[in-house]
Amino acid sequence: MLDTAKRFAYNEDHETFRDTVRRVFAEHMTPFLDKHEEEGIVGREAWKALGDAGMLCPTVAEENGGLGLDFGFNCVIAEELSYLGSSAGFTLQNDITVNYFERLGTDEQKKKYLPGMVSGDIITAIAMTEPGAGSDLQGVRTTAVLDGDEWVINGSKTYITNGQNADVVIVVAKTDPSQGAKGTSLILVDADTPGFERGRNLDKIGQHAADTSELFFQDCRVPRDNLLGGEGRGFIHLMEELPQERLSIAVGAQAGAQRAFDEAVAFTKDRKAFGRTVFEFQNTKFVLADLAAKLQVGWAHLDWAILRHLEGKLTTDEASAAKLWHTDLQWECCDKALQLHGGAGYMNEYPIARLWRDARVQRIYGGTNEIMKEVVSRAI
């Protein structure tokens, strides 16, 4: 269990909420972790359970069916989910897609989608990445062309979180390819729209419980009113959400790093070699001490970043630095923790194996860590 005694980003309400999160996860997630991994998806019953407990989109305003809470409550959920060892796509909905609807949506769009997103009846995805466009979102080739009062969408997307579960997808498309980034818009596509098809639930190295999918659009027609935000302002809208998206990744990374460390401590204090516990060897103690120091720094920095974001001051380069540092730390903790497990660490029956597999993508999505360095360098 995460120790929050020394944290300073949260208040008493956050910690009371954390108790609820742990109780809900213990009942509706922990017993099914292996099932989710084997099936490659988290069932809608889990989404409904979280919705019933107020754990989906808690920042949504009360008039739109939410609780009107601050982003700190999202962070509590993200920390506990990552520490649990689940790759469920709840945080995508909580921390990323909901902001697009609430900030950019028309009154009609908010009424149609937000209450269901809060209750767990509507699951969302955002389709940015394409086979030929990843961190460089200006290179998307999916098009949305106006034909009367309808957008006609053609193209394909890949690596889309919640792709199999999604009821509605925010599609990043070129509405004016001649304008480059300025010709990008966001279009809402309901999953039952003719011309929209889900591809494979992709076979990944890790995060097996996450339904990460291909999506295809072939003469997919949606009403003109499905435009989300301003026409031609899609790239700007995406950039505006980057600080929170990258902070969200950093939050999960730090909690995942802590879980890996805790697994290593428990294992090395229990396992014996040459007549003593593995923990008693100097190498083990030094490796763990080094990680403990870095985790201490990480939690302090994360709380600083969370508070700065709650104040509306977290910049894109600061969030990018947080994503870079905390995901690197997560990988270091997972890799060294697995090494301290010895051969057992390579066995899927031990939690560290899953933690190690799931950590690898953290340095890739949300913008690769190489891109994070580029972003940070521009602010120097």
Structure-block tokens of residue 84? 């649990």
User: Is residue 273 within 8 Å of residue 284, measured between CB atoms?
Assistant: no
132-152: burial string, b at 16+ Cβ within 10 Å, e else: ebbbebeebebbbeeeeebbb
Reduced to 3 states (helix: H, G, I; strand: E, B; else coil), residue 3 is coil
Q: Alpha helix (H) ranges present in 54-213?
A: 71-84, 90-91, 98-104, 107-119
Q: Which residue out of 79, 80, 130, 245 is catalytically annotated?
A: 245
Cβ-contact 325, 252 below 8 angstroms: no
Given CA atoms 37, 253, 159, 53 in this order, what sign does their dihedral have? positive
- CA–CA dist 278, 220 (Å, integer): 59
Q: Distance (Å, rounded) from C-alpha 367 to C-alpha 188?
A: 23
Q: Which residues pair with 154 in a beta bridge?
A: 143
Annotation says 79 is catalytic: no
**Can you tell me which residue has the tokens 């070699």?**
273
Q: Which helix (H) or strand (E) holds 319?
A: helix 316-341
Three-state DSSP at 351 gives helix
Strands 150-161 and 212-223, bridge-based pairing: antiparallel
Active site residues: 245
